[in-house]
Amino acid sequence: MSFPKDLKYTREHEWIRLENGKATIGVTGYALEQLGDVVHLELPKVGETFKAGSTFGTIESTKTVSDLYMPITCKVSAVNADATKNLESLAEDPYKKGWLIQVEYAKEDGELISASEYESYIAEEE
């Protein structure tokens, strides 16, 4: 499994695309593969603020319920309503159509890792 090199990742399996004070956040394809069929997704409301590492929602599959962790300190500026209605889109295209939220941030303050570091991390977990 390969991961887009233009993204940063967390050890909790979220990805983030950073773009000049704005960012898009989602769940990695690896995490979605491990979860199996997603049956429910709970996301924050626009305007909510979060600190890096705090829980911003949950993703529920037929196997388990997992928390979603915020990669950076930020304010939610958009929520992908389509992803909450079309849960299959998460696994079909986790890095484009399957994004979860968009945020505004002042600085990169979370523990973000590169695609190659994330691949190594996954290899160690298995």
Structure tokens at 55: 């829980």
pTM of the predicted protein model: 0.95
| Residue range 15-55, pLDDT digits in tens | 999 999 999 999 999 999 999 999 999 999 999 999 999 99
Strand-pairing partners, residue 8, are 16
| Residue range 71-89, pLDDT digits in tens | 999 999 999 999 999 998 8
pLDDT, mean over the chain: 95
Other C-beta atoms closer than 10 Å to the C-beta of 79 total: 18
Strand-pairing partners, residue 9, are 15, 113
Which of 32, 86, 94, 85 is closest to 63 using CA atoms?
32
Mode of pairing for the β-strands spanning 14-19 and 101-104? unpaired
Q: What is the CATH number of domain 13-107?
A: 2.40.50.100
Which of 40, 101, 35 is closest to 70 using CA atoms?
101
Nearest 5°: phi and psi at 15? -115, 155
Task: Write the CB contacts of 34 (distance below 8 Å, at least 6 apart in sequence).
Answer: none
